[in-house]
């Protein structure tokens, strides 16, 4: 069976691919299983050299990979270049981490206890369509660094960069069978990976709904899982914040990647005393976002991923919004930047829209802000804007989310842990913390008694 991959900015077909099924999944798992003993035995320095070579190859192919990602996801090319730059950095980072992931010696009676970090075996990586290469690299880097072999399943809508990454892995000298890219439906290939007895762990990024299925399916074989799921993050603006800076940054924190970002600060909480002023600044800043052809260097926002997704996003906007921007009326799954006023009980404030729609919600004081920010099943990310350092720290500790920023809207750095609280999932990606999710601790006691 074949299927067609579309360019969401034009609705034109860009590839026709074979769709894998259960049989192909079993074959890929078998290849990964066969490759595991040799790969996990590669000396740390040699594995590091291979990952570094992969990082360098990604750097050398930045423009090609960025163009693939831009055409397949509808991402503005300037942003896509940055994302591929991060993919290379991730492989460099984990190349450097391989010989710094230590065990311990523990004082015990009668001998010495030592811990070892053992690889898990075959790991299934299931990734979504919003940041296909980036999220694949966040899983591939630590998985390979720890000595695992992998089966990588990209989203059917956006498989092209993963296929190219798989080729670059081989070109880098990573042996056949270590990285297996499998293009197919989540409900077939993904489900088989989750249930397969020879897959030791599933690393999943996607919707909370499918995350639940991953947990359920993994129970049968007590598989390890790490889940990076949805978000409904708050961007909290206090009256003492640098309002101009906060307002200039806020649109990009929710409209970037056309809002298809689990870290999107899609609830903008504004203190009542500065509400009107902030709204004016926010709308002014949003008017400046350049929406259009993703291949144009100046474009800041492209289309949504699919027609079906555009319908879902549109269903969140009822009545006249506070602001609606422009979008091309040519083919493509376009949706304009949209700002609506809301209470935290409205559907728009409770569910992940995954589109360029921001809900602005007023609050009274710090206690009210904490209450609203935490009144969500999600807990991935968020921001606090204030000039009061003590308040910033109080807020950062009080908000139930895995990744927060103060006077900034960033969530992701190669060297810092990334992941959620509550129904945004568990386990951490990136930084040294990610290595915990791709290795088991083994404790060995060595008797010193004669
Ligand atoms: P999904 O959770 O359905 O897809 C994510 C990945 O999981 C894809 O590779 C998909 O494969 C796979 N998958 C789907 N169903 C199963 C299954 N039963 N078993 C195993 N794997 C499966 O996200 P959607 O693409 O449907 O997006 C829906 C919503 O999810 C978005 O609107 C957004 O709210 C949220 N989302 C959050 C993301 C995040 O970064 N946290 C990323 C993507 C979506 P395939 O698509 O090929 O069938």
Q: Specify the pLDDT at position 134.
A: 98
**Nearest protein Cα to ligand 1, atom 10:** 186
Q: How confident is the model at residue 426 (pLDDT cuts 50, 70, 90)?
A: very high
Regarding the beta carbon of 17 and ligand 1, being less than 6 Å apart is answered no
d(CA 164, CA 80): 15
**How far, rounded to the nearest angstrom, does the alpha carbon of residue 284 sit from its chain's CA centroid?**
29
Q: Which two tokens stand for residue 160?
A: 């092209």
Atom of ligand 1 nearest to the CA of 154: 9
Q: Specify the pLDDT at position 400.
A: 98
DSSP codes of every residue in 185-253: -IIIIIHHHHH-TTEEEEEEES-HHHHHHHHHHHHTTT-EEEEE-----EEEE-TTS-HHHHHHHHHHH
pLDDT digits (tens, 9 = 90+) for 16-35: 999 999 999 999 999 999 99
Ligand 1 center to 258 CA (angstroms): 17
pLDDT digits (tens, 9 = 90+) for 107-141: 999 999 999 999 999 999 999 999 999 999 999 99
Largest CA distance in the chain: 83
Atom of ligand 1 nearest to the CA of 231: 41
Regarding the beta carbon of 229 and ligand 1, being less than 6 Å apart is answered yes
Ligand 1 center to 204 CA (angstroms): 9
Regarding the beta carbon of 195 and ligand 1, being less than 6 Å apart is answered no
Mean pLDDT, range 406-415, rounded to an integer: 97
Regarding the beta carbon of 134 and ligand 1, being less than 6 Å apart is answered no
Ligand 1 center to 354 CA (angstroms): 12
DSSP codes of every residue in 261-308: -TT---EEEEEGGGHHHHHHHHHHHHHT--BS-TTSTT--B---S-HH
Atom of ligand 1 nearest to the CA of 229: 41
Q: Are strands 111-119 and 105-108 parallel, antiparallel or unpaired?
A: antiparallel
Q: Which two tokens stand for residue 27?
A: 């074959």
Mean pLDDT, range 263-280, rounded to an integer: 98
C-alpha triplet 164, 151, 440: angle, nearest 5°: 130
Give percent helix, percent strand, percent coil of the chain, each to the nearest 5.
45, 20, 35
Q: Can you give the pTM of this predicted structure?
A: 0.97
Residue where the block lists tokens 């630590």: 142
Regarding the beta carbon of 305 and ligand 1, being less than 6 Å apart is answered no
388: how many CB neighbours lie within 10 A of its CB? 14
Return the active site residues. Answer: 228, 262
With a pLDDT cut of 90, the percent of the chain lying above it is: 99
Mean pLDDT, range 423-441, rounded to an integer: 98
d(CA 362, CA 372): 10
Q: How confident is the model at residue 262 (pLDDT cuts 50, 70, 90)?
A: very high
Regarding the beta carbon of 262 and ligand 1, being less than 6 Å apart is answered yes
Mean pLDDT, range 77-87, rounded to an integer: 98
**Nearest protein Cα to ligand 1, atom 27:** 207
Mean pLDDT, range 287-313, rounded to an integer: 98
Atom of ligand 1 nearest to the CA of 260: 33
Mean pLDDT, range 280-298, rounded to an integer: 98
Q: Specify the pLDDT at position 34.
A: 98
Atom of ligand 1 nearest to the CA of 126: 9
Ligand 1 center to 441 CA (angstroms): 31
Regarding the beta carbon of 101 and ligand 1, being less than 6 Å apart is answered no
Q: Are strands 403-406 and 338-341 parallel, antiparallel or unpaired?
A: unpaired
Regarding the beta carbon of 185 and ligand 1, being less than 6 Å apart is answered yes
Ligand 1 center to 312 CA (angstroms): 14
Regarding the beta carbon of 191 and ligand 1, being less than 6 Å apart is answered yes
d(CA 320, CA 213): 37
pLDDT digits (tens, 9 = 90+) for 133-148: 999 999 999 999 999 9
Q: Are strands 267-271 and 105-108 parallel, antiparallel or unpaired?
A: unpaired
Ligand 1 center to 207 CA (angstroms): 5
3-state secondary structure of 112: strand
Regarding the beta carbon of 57 and ligand 1, being less than 6 Å apart is answered no
Residue among 156, 157, 210 to mutate when testing ligand 1 (max atoms within 8 A of CB):
210
pLDDT digits (tens, 9 = 90+) for 163-204: 999 999 999 999 999 999 999 999 999 999 999 999 999 999
Task: Indicate the average pLDDT of the chain.
Answer: 98
Mean pLDDT, range 31-54, rounded to an integer: 98
Residue among 19, 72, 186 to mutate when testing ligand 1 (max atoms within 8 A of CB):
186
| Burial class for 240, CB neighbours closer than 10 Å (0-12, 13-18, 19+) | middle
């Amino acid at each position: 069976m074949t299927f067609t991959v579309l360019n969401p900015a034009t609705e034109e077909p860009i590839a026709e691919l074979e769709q894998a099924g259960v049989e192909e999944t079993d074959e890929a798992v078998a290849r990964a299983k066969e490759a595991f003993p040799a790969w996990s035995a590669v000396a740390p320095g040699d594995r590091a050299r291979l990952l570094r070579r992969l990082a360098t190859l990604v750097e050398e192919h930045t423009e090609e990979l960025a163009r693939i990602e831009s055409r397949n996801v509808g991402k503005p090319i300037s942003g896509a270049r940055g994302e591929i730059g991060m993919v290379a950095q991730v492989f460099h980072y984990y190349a450097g981490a391989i010989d710094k992931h230590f065990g311990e010696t523990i004082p015990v009676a009668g001998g010495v206890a030592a811990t070892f970090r053992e690889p898990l075996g075959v790991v299934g990586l299931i990734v979504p369509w919003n940041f296909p290469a980036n999220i694949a690299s966040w899983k591939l880097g630590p998985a390979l660094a720890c000595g695992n072999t992998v089966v990588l399943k990209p989203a059917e809508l956006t498989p092209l960069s993963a296929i190219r990454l798989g080729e670059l892995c081989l070109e880098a000298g990573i042996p056949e069978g270590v990285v297996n890219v499998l293009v197919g439906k989540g409900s077939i290939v993904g489900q088989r990976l989750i249930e397969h007895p020879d897959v030791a762990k599933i690393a999943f990024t996607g919707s909370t709904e499918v995350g639940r299925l991953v947990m359920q399916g993994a129970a049968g074989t007590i598989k390890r899982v790490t889940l990076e799921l949805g978000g409904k993050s708050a961007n909290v603006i206090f009256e003492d914040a640098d309002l101009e800076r906060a307002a200039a940054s806020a649109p990009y924190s929710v409209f970037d990647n056309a809002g298809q970002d689990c870290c999107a600060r899609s609830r903008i909480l504004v203190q009542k005393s500065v509400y009107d002023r902030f709204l004016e600044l926010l709308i002014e800043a949003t008017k400046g976002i350049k929406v259009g052809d993703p291949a144009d260097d100046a474009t800041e926002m492209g289309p949504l991923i699919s027609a079906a997704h555009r319908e879902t996003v549109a269903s969140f906007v009822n009545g006249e919004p506070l602001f609606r921007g422009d979008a091309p009326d040519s083919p493509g799954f376009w949706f304009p930047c949209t700002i609506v006023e809301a209470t935290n009980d409205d559907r728009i404030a409770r569910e992940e829209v995954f589109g360029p729609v921001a809900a602005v919600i007023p609050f009274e004081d710090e206690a009210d802000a904490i209450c609203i920010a935490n009144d969500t099943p999600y807990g991935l990310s968020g921001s606090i804007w204030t000039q009061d350092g003590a308040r910033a720290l109080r807020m950062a500790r009080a908000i139930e989310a895995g990744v927060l920023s103060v006077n900034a809207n960033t969530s992701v750095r190669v060297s810092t842990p990334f992941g959620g609280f509550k129904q945004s999932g568990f386990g951490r990606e990136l930084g040294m913390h990610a290595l915990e999710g791709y290795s088991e601790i083994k404790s060995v006691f060595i008797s010193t008694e004669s």
